[in-house]
Amino acid sequence: MTRHVVAHVADIPPGERLIVEIAGRSIGVFNVNGRFFAVKNSCPHQGGQLCLGRTVGLATAERPGEITYTREGEILRCPWHGWEFDLATGRSVFDPNRTRVKSYPVEVEELQAETYPVEIERERVVVVLT
C-alpha cells in the first residue's frame, strides 16, 4: 500500500474531478459534495476513459413511471456506453456484485510541518494505492 499526494483540496472543488497519473495508472479523483473518491480511469466494459464521464444522480423506481432521483453527483456514467458506477464503491448500478471499476481509498490530511509565511492551501488530497 502506497500513499500518493495528488492535489490540494482547493484544486478539486465540489462537483469537479482531477485525472492523475499514479505509478503508471490513470485515476480520477472526484470531489462529491466535499467527500473525495478515486476510481480507475478505465471502464470495465470496453476500456473507455470512465473518468471523463458525467457525474449524475441515481434514478430508481418502486413502480413503473414513479421515478425518484437521489444521490446527485455520486454516480459516474461512462462517456462511451453510459454504464453507471457508484463513485463511493466502484460498483456498477446494474450489476453491483459482478461489474465494478477499481476504486481507491482517498484521504484528506492536514498540512502540519509547512512553515511558509503565507499558507494558501491547508489540506491536500492523498490517494492510497492498494
Partner 1 sequence: MSAVAHEPRAATARQTPRELSLIDCDAHHNWGGVKDVLPYLPRYWADYVLESQFKALPNSPYPKGVGGGERVDARPGDVGSAGSDVDFFRRQLLDEWGVDVAILTGQFYNVAFLANAGFAAALSSALNDWMIETWLARDDRFRGSLTVPMQDPVAAVKEIDRLGSRPDIVQILISAGSRMPYGQAFYDPIWEACERNGLVVGMHFGGIGIMHAPTSAGWPSYYLEWHTDMSQAFQAQMVSLVAEGTFQKFPGLKFALIEGGFAWVPHVMWRLDKNWKGLRTECPWLTRKPSEIILDHFRLTTQPIEEPDNDAHLLQVFEMMDASRTLMFSSDYPHWDFDSPQQAFPRLPAELKRRIFVENARELYGL
- The minimum distance between CB 100 and partner 1, in angstroms, equals 13
> Which residue do the cell numbers 434514478 mark?
59
* Nearer of residues 54 and 122 to partner 1, judged by Cβ: 54
Nearer to partner 1 by Cβ, of 83 and 104: the residue is 83
What percent helix, strand, coil does the chain show, rounded to 5? 5, 50, 45
Q: Pick the closer one to partner 1 by CB: 5 or 59.
A: 59
The three cell numbers locating residue 4: 500518493
Q: Smallest distance, Å, CB 98 to partner 1?
A: 11
Residue ranges binding partner 1 (CB under 8 A): 45, 56, 59-67, 78, 81-84, 92-95
Question: What is the full DSSP assignment across 15-31?
Answer: T-EEEEEETTEEEEEEE
Kindly state the cell numbers that stand for 91. Answer: 460498483
Query: CB 15 → partner 1: shortest distance, Å?
Result: 19
3-state secondary structure of 72: strand
Q: What is the nearest approach in angstroms of partner 1 to the Cβ of residue 35? A: 23
Close Cβ partners of 117 (under 8 Å, ≥ 6 residues apart) = none
| Nine cell digits for residue 38 | 478515486
- Residue whose CB is less far from partner 1, 26 or 99: 99
